[in-house]
A and B are shown apart, each in its own frame.
Chain A
């Protein structure tokens, strides 16, 4: 079988794009390591890479780190779930319009303009450093972003599919299950992926300032006691969990759930 010049060109372009992706990925991962290496040779507060790597086995097996890691994950997942529920409710009210729609719209707009750090500190002060305060802070800071993304989803709903539902007499549960919910799934994924990293930052920030458990609190404790290697290891764990969840959980799940997307006839051959 001979390839047409166009197919060869496409293949070449795809290969070039793959190499470029690989090179950019290597640069993205290599640059921080390089900066770390320079920092460890020019300052006293950045530990050498080798020292941190040697400390990993003891750190992950010897110390009681996992309960704190789990507490932080629990806080992130819990508050993100609350933010999703609040965000959907807000998006629905804004989509319906009317007085309440306008009120919620203004409130969401206001919250989007307030810096996360200020909102977090104020909320923690009001809630007196309680566990509820952490959940409240994260949910209240992330839900306006979730609401905006889901609002886009509601606004872009295909009216023509509703007409199809009318003609074929789909019941309300059938419409929800087969028309409305699947339409909102891509927007929900976008909201979760956008706000996941945001939620992590706010949770760790809240733990730094307000509570005695969780990764943020352990990081602060290590830093206060000048245990710089431990502080660095907490940072690395933070990044591994964040990137691992993104690339090993969220992205594959999104690809699987949205596998109906795509074009071309390759699926039929």
Chain B
């Protein structure tokens, strides 16, 4: 897939939480409409901060972010595009049932009362969790909670879905099933997704394009097109080969090269 257009447009972004220590520095990137883009970087490099800035929760020190031509910023107005967010942890309200958790964000997004229940049913069905409609989140497994979190993000029918390492806290088998379901879901919906991860294999399996960041403060190090056709297999040898190339490519930049002073790990 060739990526053109600037549906999400980030220019010269500088973000700092305390105003002194930069978390993101002079970062520019474009994501096309309907693209599945991954943002790859070492732990703690500022990937999540980038997503926070794109979502408008964090105000950048300088630079601009636009989604569908509209500027993004803290205290977004009603005219800005709706954004779905899947966090690293599910962030569901434990005192509300699965359906109530989704209903709350639907009502906040201004969905008409008559449409709330049908939409909840539709997205729970899509993620194969209909039977948990009236269940409390604490009674669900980690994978089920994360499915609810994804259903919540998709139910508001957002222009963009931001995903912040959503499978990193799950066991490997559950994570693989979830990745496969997400890939299938994206192929059916063609939703614009920005997926943050520190797993090269995960990025290669899911994304059409990978934005590789530097160690913190995050800057854009390189962009890689993943041309392996879909549907992909997680064990595909072409992904293995690409993974090895990327490891080789980022080794110095992420602080594990010959001149970095880091001891290789056993």
* A positions within 8 Å CB-CB of B: 160-161, 163-164, 166-171, 174, 178-179, 182-183, 185, 259-268
* 13 residue pairs from A and B, CB less than 8 Å apart: A167-B57, A167-B85, A168-B156, A174-B107, A178-B96, A179-B93, A182-B93, A182-B95, A261-B138, A263-B139, A265-B139, A267-B135, A268-B131
Q: Do B139 and A160 have beta carbons less than 8 Å apart?
A: no
Q: Do A164 and B136 have beta carbons less than 8 Å apart?
A: no
B interface SS class: loop
State whether the Cβ of B108 lies closer than 8 Å to any Cβ in chain A: yes
Q: Do B138 and A178 have beta carbons less than 8 Å apart?
A: no
State whether the Cβ of B104 lies closer than 8 Å to any Cβ in chain A: yes
A268 to B97, CA, bound (A): 12
- Kindly provide the distance from the CB of B40 to the nearest chain A CB, expressed in whole angstroms: 22
A161 to B52, CA, bound (A): 14
Q: Report which of A168, A259, A260, A265 forms a contact with B109, defined as CB distance below 8 A.
A: A168
State whether the Cβ of B205 lies closer than 8 Å to any Cβ in chain A: no
Question: Which A residue's beta carbon lies closest to that of B82?
Answer: A169
Q: Report which of A166, A259, A268 forms a contact with B132, defined as CB distance below 8 A.
A: A268
Number of interface residues of B (CB under 8 A): 29
- Kindly provide the distance from the CB of B222 to the nearest chain A CB, expressed in whole angstroms: 29
Q: Report which of A168, A174, A264 forms a contact with B139, defined as CB distance below 8 A.
A: A264
A163 to B85, CA, bound (A): 10
State whether the Cβ of B141 lies closer than 8 Å to any Cβ in chain A: yes
A178 to B83, CA, bound (A): 20
A260 to B140, CA, bound (A): 11
Q: List 19 additional contacts besides A164-B91, A265-B139, A268-B132; criterion CB under 8 Å.
A: A163-B57, A163-B91, A166-B55, A167-B55, A167-B57, A168-B156, A169-B76, A169-B108, A174-B107, A182-B93, A182-B95, A182-B96, A185-B95, A259-B136, A260-B94, A260-B96, A261-B94, A262-B136, A265-B140
Question: What total of A-B pairs shows CB separation below 8 Å?
Answer: 72
A182 to B56, CA, bound (A): 26
Interface centre among A161, A166, A182, A183 (most CB of B within 10 A): A166
Q: Do B136 and A260 have beta carbons less than 8 Å apart?
A: yes
Q: Do B57 and A166 have beta carbons less than 8 Å apart?
A: yes
Kindly list chain A residues whose C-beta atoms are within 8 Å of the C-beta of B132: 268
A266 to B135, CA, bound (A): 11
Given contacts A174-B104, A174-B108, A178-B104, contact A167 B93 (CB under 8 A): no
A84 to B95, CA, bound (A): 22
Kindly list chain B residues whose C-beta atoms are within 8 Å of the C-beta of A171: 108
Interface mask (B132-152 → A, CB under 8 Å = 1, otherwise 0): 100111111100000000000
- Kindly provide the distance from the CB of B55 to the nearest chain A CB, expressed in whole angstroms: 5
Top 3 closest pairs, chain A to chain B, by CB: A182-B95, A260-B136, A168-B105
A212 to B102, CA, bound (A): 56
A161 to B87, CA, bound (A): 11
State whether the Cβ of B66 lies closer than 8 Å to any Cβ in chain A: no
